[in-house]
Amino acid sequence: MDPGQVLLGIVLVLMLAAVSSAQDCTCASNKRTTCALDRSGICVCRLIGSAWVANCSTLTSKCLLMKTEMTPAKPRRVPSHGFLDNDGIYDPDCAASGAFKAKQCNGTDTCWCVNSAGVRRTDKGERTKLNCSELVRTNHIFIELKHKKRSDPFINSEVANALRYTIQNRYKLHPNYIRDIEYEYPFISINLKQNASQKLNSDVDIADVAYYFEKDVKRDSIFHSNNSFSLSVGGEPLDVEEMLIYYVDEKPPEFSMKQLTPGVIAVVVFVILALFIGITVLVITRRRRIGKYKKVEIKEMGEMRRGQNV
Ligand SMILES: *[C@@H]1O[C@H](CO)[C@@H](O)[C@H](O)[C@H]1NC(C)=O
Ligand SMILES: *[C@@H]1O[C@H](CO)[C@@H](O)[C@H](O)[C@H]1NC(C)=O
Ligand SMILES: *[C@@H]1O[C@H](CO)[C@@H](O)[C@H](O)[C@H]1NC(C)=O
Ligand SMILES: *[C@@H]1O[C@H](CO)[C@@H](O)[C@H](O)[C@H]1NC(C)=O
Ligand SMILES: *[C@@H]1O[C@H](CO)[C@@H](O)[C@H](O)[C@H]1NC(C)=O
């Protein structure tokens, strides 16, 4: 063999190696990253718009995800009736751990305190006057799904099993934190509970699970595109048409304008994130299964609102 052919062979092998390793260098748990091999051939994925290195074998924290959303890789597709609620999505300040900092500001002197899910839990105030002494933990997340009408309800246990499976396997939540899943046609309620003393460092946080889930339902998955989202129950698709997420904190929120009714349970639901596909205005009144939440008004797709502290 002449030296030219040998050289060509080597070059081809090297090129193939480069191509195949470049293909492998992607982030399974977060597509909002740019990945490259470092000098030692290790695939390093950084979040778009920041220098954060993602751990691709677990969920990325909600705070860091929200940051990547403020710097979209390509122009966002905003639905015609949609708008971005400043309260729902903002450019958050994240701690070194990836968690939300207790105090968040909107670039001006206006600040507010958030819980560990990044949801506002106080009035807005001036930077200097506002005191967010601690990050209050969201230890209970209640997700309510409504599926499309069908001739027969699904089988109760199959619904619970399908969702349990997805939450454990897709979002990697330890089963201990899935308190219960209930089904009452066409509503599915999922209770996730995780307090600070239970949560190990290696455990994913229920707030991150809820965010990944929300994005999946909105068809804006955070996972690598080879990992598409589908829910099915007993072999039939479960089409979610409505999703509400309630955040319950360890401590009641501190909104000055809203009085807590005496005798009410200390944990209070105060934020509702609504996703209505094809519905723009809707008023939900108290639902018997969720005794402690009173009246909630939802207006636009994806809008975030504070409910009543009841
Ligand atoms: C999808 O891509 C990720 C990241 O490259 C990889 O780890 C995973 O195995 C792939 N999954 C499938 C089903 O191809
Ligand atoms: C910050 O919030 C205040 C009060 O809600 C608002 O008036 C102001 O326009 C916001 N600024 C930015 C940059 O979003
Ligand atoms: C803020 O919190 C600190 C520590 O809890 C307290 O000493 C201080 O007085 C508080 N400031 C205001 C304005 O509430
Ligand atoms: C955390 O949850 C566990 C299990 O539900 C419970 O036993 C424990 O008392 C809780 N801890 C706190 C501080 O609420
Ligand atoms: C990435 O996350 C996994 C799962 O929580 C953990 O075991 C691993 O140590 C993490 N790796 C790094 C580099 O932090």
* The pLDDT value given to residue 51: 82
* The pLDDT value given to residue 297: 32
Which residue has the least CA distance to atom 2 on ligand 2? 110
Which residue has the least CA distance to atom 13 on ligand 3? 129
Name the residue of 131, 133, 134, 135 to mutate for ligand 3: max ligand atoms within 8 A of Cβ: 131
- Both structure tokens of 97: 């751990």
- From 234, 232, 212, 231, select the one nearest 223 (Cα to Cα): 212
* The pLDDT value given to residue 223: 96
Name the residue of 195, 200, 250 to mutate for ligand 4: max ligand atoms within 8 A of Cβ: 195
* The pLDDT value given to residue 286: 30
Cα-to-centroid distance, 104 and ligand 2 (Å): 12
* The pLDDT value given to residue 1: 55
> Rounded to an integer, what distance in angstroms lies between the CA atom of residue 194 and that of residue 249?
11
Does the beta carbon of 110 sit less than 6 angstroms from any atom of ligand 5?
A: no
The pLDDT tens digits for 250-303 are 887 777 654 444 332 233 333 344 444 333 222 233 333 333 333 333 322 233
Cα-to-centroid distance, 203 and ligand 5 (Å): 10
* The pLDDT value given to residue 122: 84
Does the beta carbon of 126 sit less than 6 angstroms from any atom of ligand 2?
A: no
> So where are the chain's domains?
138-257
* The pLDDT value given to residue 119: 86
Identity at 296, one-letter amino acid code: V
Does the beta carbon of 161 sit less than 6 angstroms from any atom of ligand 5?
A: no
What CA–CA distances, in Å, run from 190 to 85, 140, 213, 261, 295? 25, 10, 12, 26, 20
* Fold classification of 138-257 (topology level): Alpha-Beta Plaits (3.30.70)
The pLDDT tens digits for 116-144 are 999 888 888 898 889 899 999 999 888 88
Is the distance from CB of 32 to CB of 47 less than 8 angstroms? yes
| Residues lower than pLDDT 50 in the chain | 11-22, 73-86, 258-310
* The pLDDT value given to residue 277: 36
